[in-house]
Amino acid sequence: MDLGKLLSFVRSIPKDKLKTDAGLKEVIRDLGRQSGKNFTDQELNRYVAQFRSMYKNEDVGSLMNKLAKKGIDPNELQAFKKRFK
């Protein structure tokens, strides 16, 4: 899934779904289906826990640094930053 598709999917998520574990599971499950993956309940629980942890501990700058370390192209990161300003 390319960055543009991911951003359009993220923008389409109703914010109330991000407030509950059931809503997060639904969002993650839908994202997985769109990318051709089916997640088990155990995987969904792990991803929800990861999301909750990141939500509490991360900010935009630290997430951008992590993306850069994972090998995301610097031009894509700049485009990503511009879309959220």
Model confidence, pTM: 0.68
pLDDT by residue for the chain (85 residues), tens only, comes to 566 777 777 788 888 888 899 999 999 998 889 888 999 999 999 999 998 888 888 777 787 788 888 888 878 878 777 766 6
The CA-based diameter of the chain, rounded to the nearest angstrom, is 36
The closest of 17, 19, 20 to 31, measured between CA atoms, is 17
Host domain of residue 11: 3-83
Residue with tokens 């300003």: 85
Q: Distance between CA atoms of 29 and 32, rounded to whole angstroms? A: 5
Q: Distance between CA atoms of 59 and 26, rounded to whole angstroms? A: 24
Instruction: Report how many domains make up the chain.
Output: 1
